[in-house]
Structure 1
Amino acid sequence: MGFTEAVRTCLRDKYFTFQGRASRSEYWYFILFMWVTWLVLIIVFLSPGLWMGLVEAMISGGPSGTEYIVAAFVVIVSIALCIPMLTALVRRLHDCNLSGWWVLVMIVIGLIPVVGLLASIFTTIAWFVICVMKGTVGANKHGEDPLQVQKGAEVFA
């Protein structure tokens, strides 16, 4: 699966789909897209002109409409990207024959004040290791292998 196909799959075809499996390429290309998008948003949001506008807003008594619009845009895009990121992670866990409920467990544990900080460090490492592992070859309890060629597909190729 290529970059554009992975982004299209995660953003359009499987935006709210928690069922099924995601190959490593689908997951990692989408993560790359997310990070590039967030980097661009951060660069735009933290541009010198905008910073000067914020400083002037603090001096004059409040932010202008532009700062609110940019901040709202960054928040909306970030929330919109979190949903397919979670669904892609769940499908990636399914590809390794793990339950997607582990994502919810780790989010809840991460909300506990001191334990959450330590847990988030370990879970970040664990998620990375799991997501780079090769998925289950063949079908598993979550569906067919996303890398396996479907029967009859080569006839029409």
Structure 2
Amino acid sequence: MMSFGEAISVCLKQKYATFSGRASRSEFWWFYLFTVLVSIVTSVIDNVLGTNILIGTYPKGNPKLLGIISAIVSLILFVPTLAATFRRLHDRNKTGWFAGGAMIALILGIALKSALILLVGGLGLFVFVLVMLILPGDNGTNDYGADPLNPNSGNGNIFVP
């Protein structure tokens, strides 16, 4: 099991834009927690420093604000977060493009104001991806590489021909 610090190091230094291979649950979820914490901290910093810009208003007149620091940090963390998601799906022997498909369907559903695309495509794929991210990875080697928890475990097949 990977620690919080190891997950950050792996995702930001060693595998920043590595979409191949596999990621254990601990690697993915520790890094995800890191991104959430960084998001909270940068939002607080934006509010304290006043680095929010007005990008519109909500229907009841409340301002829509975009934090400059939060936006920059989110852009920096986007690639490693997407890469870790792809690698995590690979650990379940699923293509990482399920994550991309969910994002595209959500964006299209919102842009086209289509409830069908949004609910069936976007949310359906999102729930599927979330379940895949939560479940344990395949034991042994799969189509995407060696088991990150036990790299020397072979192919995971108990019936070796």
TM bin, normalised by shorter chain, reads 0.7 to 0.9
For residues 126 and 46 of structure 2, the distance between their equivalents in structure 1, rounded to whole angstroms, comes to 26
Q: Any residues of structure 2 matched to 1:61-140 within 5 Å, and which? A: 71-112=67-108, 113=112, 114=114, 115-118=116-119, 119-140=121-142
* The structure with more helix, counted as a fraction of residues: 1
Where do 5+ consecutive residues of structure 2 fail to align?
A: 55-65, 154-161
Which amino acid counterpart does residue 6 of structure 2 have in structure 1?
E
Give the equivalent residue in structure 2 for 1:34: 35
* The structure with more strand, counted as a fraction of residues: 2
Deviations 1:77-111 (A, max 9, x none): 10111110100000000000001122222222222
Which amino acid counterpart does residue 75 of structure 1 have in structure 2?
A
Q: Which has the larger radius of gyration?
A: 1
Larger relative contact order (Cα-Cα within 8 Å, sequence gap ≥ 6): 1
Where do 5+ consecutive residues of structure 1 fail to align?
A: 56-69, 152-157
Tell which deviates more after alignment, 116-125 or 142-151.
Answer: 116-125
For residues 53 and 89 of structure 2, the distance between their equivalents in structure 1, rounded to whole angstroms, comes to 42
RMSD: 2.4
Number of matched residues?
135
